[in-house]
């Protein structure tokens, strides 16, 4: 079970975007995420008349390693760690480590 999922609010812990908050938009692979507004790079794009795209410099969100982000806990207003709890019916749920309350996602 992945501790960070698409749609989670996260805070960047390290790097040039330290302290920024964003939403996980996609998982690139097992350990990399795309976070909206974080790790944005300028990419030079050639025009392609076959696809109808214009050339120029565009902003592109680049992947960030999941160890460099932490989930945002709205109750405390801070970053938090994620734990996995086994319920009585055998289901696994994600919980905040600080409070033990279930993550609503």
pLDDT digit string, tens, across residues 35-77: 999 999 999 999 999 999 999 999 999 999 999 999 999 999 9
Closest CA to 25 of 7, 9, 2: 7
pLDDT digit string, tens, across residues 66-100: 999 999 999 999 999 999 999 999 999 999 999 99
Entry pTM: 0.84
SS3 category, 67: helix
The hierarchical CATH code for the domain 9-79 is 2.30.30.30
Give the other-Cβ count within 10 Å of 8's Cβ. Answer: 20
Query: How far is Cα 78 from Cα 89, in angstroms, rounded to an integer?
Result: 31
pLDDT digit string, tens, across residues 3-28: 999 999 999 999 999 999 999 999 99
Helix H segments across 27-90?
none
Q: From start to end of 1-105, where are the E strands?
A: 9-12, 21-27, 32-35, 40-45, 56-61, 64-65, 69-73, 78-80, 82-86, 92-96
């Amino acid at each position: 079970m992945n501790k960070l999922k698409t749609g989670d609010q996260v805070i960047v812990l390290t790097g040039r975007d330290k302290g920024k908050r964003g939403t996980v938009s996609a998982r690139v692979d097992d350990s990399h995420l795309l976070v909206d507004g974080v790790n944005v790079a300028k990419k030079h794009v050639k025009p392609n008349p076959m696809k109808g795209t214009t050339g120029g410099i565009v902003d592109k969100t680049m992947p960030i390693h999941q160890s460099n982000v932490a989930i945002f806990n709205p109750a405390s207003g801070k970053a938090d760690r994620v734990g996995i709890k086994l319920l009585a019916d055998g289901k696994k749920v994600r919980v905040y480590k600080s409070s033990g309350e279930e993550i609503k996602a």
